[in-house]
Amino acid sequence: MKYTRCFTRFDTTNLKAKYFVKKGKISWKECTINKVSRKGIGTTFHADEKITIGSTLHLKIFISKESEYFTVKGILKWLIQRENNLFGGIELTEVLSETDWIQLIFFIATPSENRMENTGFATPQATRKKRHPSPPPKVVSL
Fold of 10-129: Thrombin, subunit H (2.40.10)
Query: pLDDT for 117-133, tens place per residue?
Result: 444 444 333 334 445 56
CA distance 116 to 125: 10
CA distance 29 to 21: 9
CA distance 86 to 51: 9
In 3-state terms, what secondary structure has residue 52?
Answer: coil
Q: Is residue 30 within 8 Å of residue 44, measured between CB atoms?
A: no
User: What is the pTM (predicted TM-score) of this model?
Assistant: 0.71
Instruction: Specify the range with the lowest mean pLDDT, choosing from 14-18, 53-57, 80-84, 108-112.
Output: 108-112
What pLDDT score was predicted for residue 3?
56
In 3-state terms, what secondary structure has residue 101?
Answer: helix
Cα first-last separation, the chain:
33
Task: Please report, for the chain, the start and end positions of each structural domain, with discontinuous segments joined by +.
Answer: 10-129
Using alpha carbons only, how large is the chain's radius of gyration in Å? 16
